[in-house]
Amino acid sequence: MTTQTTAPKTTGATPTGATTGLIGIPPHIGRALATGGGVATIASTFLAWTWTAEFPGDLTVYGYPGGLQVLVLIAGALTALFGLASYGVKGLRWLVPAGADAAVKFAALAAFATTWYTVVAISAKLGGLVNLEPGGYIAAAVTLIALLGALALPFQRPEPDPFDPDDTGWEQFKHTSSQNWQTVKAAFATGTPRPVRALPSYAEILIIVGILAVALLVFTYGIGTEYDELFVGFLIVAGFGFAAAHRAGLIAQATEITARHQNITVCGAFVAAACFPFTQSDDQYATLGVYILIFATVALGLNIVVGLAGLLDLGYVAFLGVGAYAASMVSGSPSSPFDLHLPFWAAVLVGAAASLVFGVLIGAPTLRLRGDYLAIVTLGFGEIFRITANNLDGTSGPDVTNGSNGISSIPDLEILGFDMGIAHDIGGFTIGRFANYFFLMLLITAVVVLVFRRSGDSRIGRAWVAIREDETAALAMGINGFRVKLIAFAVGASLAGLAGTVQAHVTYTVTPEQYLFAGTTPPNSAFLLAAVVLGGMGTIAGPLIGAALLFLIPNKLQFLDDYQLFAFGLALVLLMRFRPEGLVANRRRKLEFHEEADAPTTLSKTGA
């Protein structure tokens, strides 16, 4: 390709407010480099990158990409596609409704980061650069070229603020760095996407199906990554790829289309989720699937309490525990003090009812408190639940929960003669034990989603939001604050209890140590809250995505080990700094941004 044709030369002072690139390569050459680099990246993934199979993922073969190369291939393809679209190629215009340049930059960044991560990982793992085959060098070079080319694409530079001549050196330094940061931000910014063309509704539904299929594919790939390096690569590509799609305006258009067909989207999402076990050949990843689903469902329940009603509950996992204990005690387990074996539907009712009672008992005295006080009291109650469950063992107190041993050997469920404990063959697919529970849990999730959506958009939901926004004004509008908050608390509690009933059967054993305030394994109260905040408060998709990430990342990145909580904390701080509304922004937040977007934007639509 165009290797080594241009060394990046940096020009001195750039004219203010002009549309130039970050790097002083002429834009048309930059565009060619980026697009060509993307194509070359694709080609390079078909080469061998290393000589030995000791580095996982089969990177030694000429002819087809393997492991991390596949991810690089995807990133390279994205770069090439967005690059071609930036030339205005006819069939690709739909890819970039908000302009291609920022998308090219992010896609090139994705390819570059993944390739260089791979190359560095190979060198580090196998001990030196000698372990790289020429293919590895070529890939590293072409992705670098593509990135440099992409960075040369023009953008509207922000007007620099003049210096204050009285500033000290430190203040000038701060001023300059904030200026540079503004420039970098502007380089990756994009225009407003043009509105979606009116399509026949069947076409829009097909688009939704396509979006969901991509989502399922991405999720299945992520959950199925077999080694640390591949998962890191997956996170890089998924993150930057999403950013690229966002900058291209595709995400905005997808949101617009799904918003038009909300019910279809929700149903479709459940169908897509139900397809997940069929993509798996064994039960290994279905296990992860069902744990993620439990975690996500409880997080969604917490979102009613935190996201809608604004009640900070730090002991929410206790309600999951109450549901699980209640269900396990009536499950016919030998270590249960009650010799009872209720059918599942009755156990579900018992679990939800127990959590409801517990929620009302805790809520009635505590919900008179506001803000921080409520958080501390709920934190206390969460711990009281765990310690009580520990002590009701027959020696410290009456024998109810079997103490720290918990209630074990909980039998598998049998619903309408369908034994959840054994594998079934359905249409050529083997559906194992965890896949069975995955389907059951999906049903519970559907119930929680239904309750969330319907209660959120009603008189009671508006009262919750009003209480959250301004309690005094809400009271003055005739809302019985205490009653409304108690309903939110009780609903949240019983939904968690519902999830708990299934969890008890999935894990075989219910012990007090599963329901901590904070620990390394989700679900615990801190992680639940983090999933809600990370994903986006007051949304449905937010906690689901947040929970999936919070479960998968510690699970997949075993090498983090002792640094898990540290990394988690760091990620949370960064997220709160740069995207405080969470990964999925609430409709209200979106409206906020919508208002700003009404102002005419000065960013060029396409740089060509």
* Rounded CA separation 49/116 (Å): 12
Q: Which listed range, 1-9, 51-59, 131-139, 583-591, lies at the site for another protein (CB under 8 A)?
A: 583-591
Q: List CB contacts of 130: < 8 A, sequence separation 6 or more.
A: none
Pairing between strand 429-431 and 424-426? antiparallel
Looking only at residues 160 through 219 of this chain, which bind another protein when binding is defined by CB under 8 A? none
Binding residues for another protein, rule CB under 8 A, total 32
Q: Is 481 in the site for another protein (CB under 8 A)?
A: yes
Among 84, 292, 491, 553, binds another protein (CB under 8 A): 491
The pair of three-digit structure tokens given for residue 192, joined into one six-digit string: 């407003």
Q: Is 486 in the site for another protein (CB under 8 A)?
A: no
Closest CA to 217 of 234, 229, 201, 233: 234
The 10 Å CB-count burial string (b at 16+, else e) for 249-286 is bbbbbbbebbeebeebbbebbbebbeebbebbeebebb
- Closer CB to another protein, residue 91 or residue 478? 478
What minimum distance in Å lies between the beta carbon of 579 and another protein?
A: 17
What minimum distance in Å lies between the beta carbon of 479 and another protein?
A: 5
Q: Is 588 in the site for another protein (CB under 8 A)?
A: yes
Q: Which listed range, 122-130, 320-328, 479-487, 546-554, lies at the site for another protein (CB under 8 A)?
A: 479-487
Closest CA to 114 of 159, 154, 79, 163: 79
Cα 229 to Cα 55, 77, 192, 559, distances in angstroms: 10, 21, 36, 10
Q: Which listed range, 5-13, 105-113, 385-393, 476-484, lies at the site for another protein (CB under 8 A)?
A: 476-484
What minimum distance in Å lies between the beta carbon of 587 and another protein?
A: 9
Among 475, 541, 571, 572, binds another protein (CB under 8 A): 475
Contact indicator for 60, 48 with CB cutoff of 8 Å? yes
The pair of three-digit structure tokens given for residue 410, joined into one six-digit string: 């909980």
Among 139, 212, 474, 547, binds another protein (CB under 8 A): 474
Among 478, 561, 599, 602, binds another protein (CB under 8 A): 478
Among 172, 180, 480, 558, binds another protein (CB under 8 A): 480
Counting Cβ atoms within 10 Å, is residue 308 exposed (0-12), middle (13-18) or buried (19+)? Answer: buried
The pair of three-digit structure tokens given for residue 95, joined into one six-digit string: 């890819």
- Closer CB to another protein, residue 460 or residue 572? 460
- Closer CB to another protein, residue 133 or residue 313? 313
What minimum distance in Å lies between the beta carbon of 302 and another protein?
A: 17
- Closer CB to another protein, residue 416 or residue 476? 476
Contact indicator for 220, 274 with CB cutoff of 8 Å? no
* Rounded CA separation 237/231 (Å): 10
* Rounded CA separation 62/135 (Å): 9
- Closer CB to another protein, residue 419 or residue 592? 592
Q: Which listed range, 161-169, 230-238, 245-253, 590-598, lies at the site for another protein (CB under 8 A)?
A: 590-598
What minimum distance in Å lies between the beta carbon of 461 and another protein?
A: 7
What minimum distance in Å lies between the beta carbon of 266 and another protein?
A: 15
HSE (CB half, 13 Å, CA atoms) of 325?
28
Cα 59 to Cα 62, 126, 127, 171, distances in angstroms: 8, 13, 16, 50
Residue 9, phi then psi, degrees to nearest 5:
-105, 135
What minimum distance in Å lies between the beta carbon of 454 and another protein?
A: 5
Q: Is 312 in the site for another protein (CB under 8 A)?
A: no
- Closer CB to another protein, residue 310 or residue 315? 310
What minimum distance in Å lies between the beta carbon of 490 and another protein?
A: 9
- The partner residues of 341 in beta bridges, in order of sequence, read 331
Among 10, 11, 395, 472, binds another protein (CB under 8 A): 472
Residue 485, phi then psi, degrees to nearest 5:
-70, -40
What minimum distance in Å lies between the beta carbon of 593 and another protein?
A: 10
Q: Is 309 in the site for another protein (CB under 8 A)?
A: no
What minimum distance in Å lies between the beta carbon of 445 and another protein?
A: 16
The pair of three-digit structure tokens given for residue 411, joined into one six-digit string: 């039998």
Task: Look up residue 426 and give its DSSP letter.
Answer: E
Helices (H) and strands (E) in the chain, counts: 21, 6
What minimum distance in Å lies between the beta carbon of 385 and another protein?
A: 24
Looking only at residues 430 through 469 of this chain, which bind another protein when binding is defined by CB under 8 A? 450-451, 454-455, 457-463, 465-466, 469
The pair of three-digit structure tokens given for residue 522, joined into one six-digit string: 């989700």
What minimum distance in Å lies between the beta carbon of 592 and another protein?
A: 6
Q: Is 487 in the site for another protein (CB under 8 A)?
A: yes
- Closer CB to another protein, residue 361 or residue 591? 591
- Closer CB to another protein, residue 405 or residue 480? 480
The pair of three-digit structure tokens given for residue 400, joined into one six-digit string: 């109810």
* Rounded CA separation 401/181 (Å): 57
What minimum distance in Å lies between the beta carbon of 309 and another protein?
A: 12
Task: Tell me which long-range contacts 370-375 makes (C-beta under 8 A, separation of at least 24).
Answer: 370/471, 371/312, 372/312, 374/311, 374/312, 374/313, 375/312, 375/313, 375/314
Among 595, 599, 600, 602, binds another protein (CB under 8 A): 595
Q: Which listed range, 369-377, 478-486, 512-520, 547-555, lies at the site for another protein (CB under 8 A)?
A: 478-486
- Closer CB to another protein, residue 307 or residue 382? 307
Residue 583, phi then psi, degrees to nearest 5:
-65, -45
Q: Is 7 in the site for another protein (CB under 8 A)?
A: no
Binding site for another protein (CB under 8 A): 450-451, 454-455, 457-463, 465-466, 469-470, 472-481, 487, 491, 588-589, 591-592, 595
